[in-house]
Amino acid sequence: MAQAEWWQGGVIYQIYPRSFMDLNGDGIGDLAGIAARLDHLVALGVDAIWISPIFPSPMADFGYDISDYCAIDPMFGTIADFDALLAAAHGRGLRVLLDLVPGHTSDKHPWFRDSRSGRDAARRDWYVWRDPAPDGGPPNNWLSEFGGPAWTFDAPSGQYYLNIFLPEQPALNWRNPEVAEAIAGVMRFWFDRGVDGFRVDAFENLVMDAAFRNNPPNPEWTPPLGPARSLLGQHTKHQPELVAIAQAMRRVAAEYAPERLLIGEAYGEPEEVVRYYGPALDGFQQPFNFQLIGLDWTPAAVAEVINEYEAALPPGAWPNWVLGNHDRGRIASRVGPAQARVAMVLLLTLRGTPTIYQGDELGMENVPIPPDRVRDPWEINVPGHGLGRDPVRTPLAWEEGPGAGFTTGTPWLPIDTRPEVCVARQAGDPASMVAFTRRLLALRRAESALALGAVEVLHAGGGVLAYVRQAPDGGPRLAITLNFTGREQPLPEGLVGELVLSSRNANPDAGAPLAPDEARILRLRG
């Protein structure tokens, strides 16, 4: 293999800035807070942080509604705080990725204020405006991800504008080259400051059907899926024009040396998502792979996902894996706390770049949110479907005590203050989840088989998943064996080797049966 890029062997850590560390006591995390806690990330052993949006925003969708792409929201600090954080991170060998939200702005963004000022406005066509249907209703049946129609009526001009998310998040018109140029300018603004890359928000929703055709009904829809899933995304998601947009964004990243990293957020089938690598690997270096989110937690289902995704990858494309983020239930709650280590081993030993969501290294679980503390507009608009994202966005607990070392004020969301989930307690305990995650990351760094090697699934059944990672150039082979059950399971046949790591705190015999919920890594002989 040619010299690997840093992000191929590297590990990314997602920071949800409102909930990482609050230094000024207003109950909301801030940039100075992140800078103050970088040691945790260095001790953990990650290579890069991706910070969810920190730009000026009315916070209708907690920063995913941006009113100025080239500044910092005062809630998070100043541009000087940002520069200081970037320098501090770089000084510790951590790369910094920001969140690029190209699909929509805030309705308070000057671009949209101009656009809605009248049909002749200079930027009218920067957003998606349509005449009403003949009955005066929305132009077609498209639905907002967050409930209700995807169209908002603007009485003064007599037209509707498109909002794939909240009405406070009007969709930009990517068929207008001026929009593409403006967003390229945003990328350059941050790249010029030294940012190492972007995670690109909601990429599958960036362009809509040019003819505005209705979406067909989803035959598999049942109410728990939420109303937006009652239609298929045929004309609103994964449109063919997106590949050229990924390529154009990549050209901007390639203006810089070293080239900057682009990670595209797109939910879809493997064959839809891998298109964004680009036909000549000239699109996103990493279209996010969410196949592990929302699958049945069984060896067979995970093996199928590994094989399907590996088969769908274009030749030479580098894979990536995600277990959780600020939008989806906590992994420890989805699979149960006893399986959290098995899940972490899976994430950090599959072939590809892993992204760890903040708090998963502590085994954080979804935190119940009392009705009077619900903040997520999705839960407020579409209550009762379990769509609310507040439970996965609660602050990190750093220390024991009421503000958990996160804040001296009132936290914006409740904190899980059980002593066993806080960083200080876990860092001092070699048997903790965080200590285990550090060992695992150190092993990943030391073993090229784990960082860069090939993968082969050997066994998926009887509650056990086993796969082998083979170091480049015929180097060592490591077998990863995962017990998905709470019962002892025999080790798959033929796996003879030395123990490298076990998720149990007492070291088992390399060849002993797997203990309940055990993950074990062996160095294979020969």
> In terms of CB distance, is 26 or 327 closer to ligand NOJ?
327
- Cα separation values, 432 from 340, 341, 420, Å: 12, 10, 9
Q: Output the smallest distance, CB 202 to ligand NOJ, in A.
A: 4
One residue of 11, 15, 21, 28 binding Ca ion per CB under 5 A:
28
Cβ-contact 327, 14 below 8 angstroms: no
Q: Does 382 bind ligand NOJ (CB under 6 A)?
A: no
Q: Between 161 and 180, how does the x/- string for binding to ligand NOJ read (CB under 6 A)? A: ----x---------------
24 binds Ca ion (CB under 5 A): yes
SS3 assignment, position 99: strand
Q: Which of 94, 186, 202, 415 binds ligand NOJ (CB under 6 A)?
A: 202
| Residue 61 lies near ligand NOJ (rule: CB under 6 A) | yes
CA angle 116, 122, 127 (to 5 degrees): 50
Q: Which backbone phi and psi does 467 adopt, to 5 degrees?
A: -145, 160
Q: Is 327 a binder of ligand NOJ (CB under 6 A)?
A: yes
- With CB cut-offs between 5 and 8 Å by kind, which of ligand NOJ, Ca ion, none does residue 523 bind? none
CB-based contact 450:478 (threshold 8 Å): yes
Q: Is 196 a catalytic residue?
A: no
Q: Does 86 bind Ca ion (CB under 5 A)?
A: no
* 255 is annotated as an active-site residue: yes
- b vs e for 124-149, b when ≥16 Cβ sit within 10 Å of the residue's Cβ? bebbbbeeeeeeeebbbbbbbbbbbb
Q: Which of 13, 55, 64, 129 binds ligand NOJ (CB under 6 A)?
A: 64
* Active-site option among 47, 201, 361, 517: 201
Does residue 30 touch Ca ion according to CB under 5 A?
Answer: yes
**Distance in Å, CB of 101 to ligand NOJ, minimum:** 6
Q: At a CB cut-off of 8 Å and minimum separation 6, what does 383 contact?
A: none
Does residue 36 bind Ca ion (CB under 5 A)? no
- Per rule CB under 6 A, count of chain residues that contact ligand NOJ: 8
User: Using the rule CB under 6 A, is 101 a contact of ligand NOJ?
Assistant: yes
Binders of Ca ion: how many residues, by CB under 5 A?
A: 5
Whole-angstrom CA distances from 322 to 99, 331, 358, 424 are 16, 10, 12, 26
What does residue 426 show for φ and ψ, rounded to 5 degrees? -70, -35
The residue type of 34 is I
How far, in Å, CA of 308 to CA of 324, rounded?
A: 20
Sites of contact with Ca ion (CB under 5 A): 22, 24, 26, 28, 30
Sites of contact with ligand NOJ (CB under 6 A): 61, 64, 101, 165, 201-202, 326-327
The residues annotated with a catalytic role in the active site are 201, 255
